Amino acid sequence: ARTGVLVFVSIAEHYAEVIADSGIDSRVGQHVWDGVVRDLTAHARDDRLADGFIKAIEATGAVLAEHFPVST
């Protein structure tokens, strides 16, 4: 289904990125992931990286639930 998402952070390089697999990328605009990265890096700047990861994972989960609801 190609529905994987990677939340990547390099502390040494001061870099973060959300990489979505092609199945997600075709339905979710880059601006959504840019917002997740923006929030994550804001938390990191405030020395709250763990909180930033939690928020990024929650936001990613919400996006996936919207576009790829659980089927029974």
Q: Greater confidence, 20 or 70?
A: 20
∠ CA 63-15-62, nearest 5°, is: 10
Predicted confidence (pLDDT) per residue in 32-53, tens digit: 999 999 999 999 999 999 999 9
User: Stretch 42-67: mean pLDDT, rounded?
Assistant: 96
pLDDT at 1: 77
∠ CA 56-61-65, nearest 5°, is: 150
**pLDDT band at 70; cut points 50, 70, 90:** confident
Measured from the Cβ of residue 63, the count of other Cβ atoms closer than 10 Å reads 20
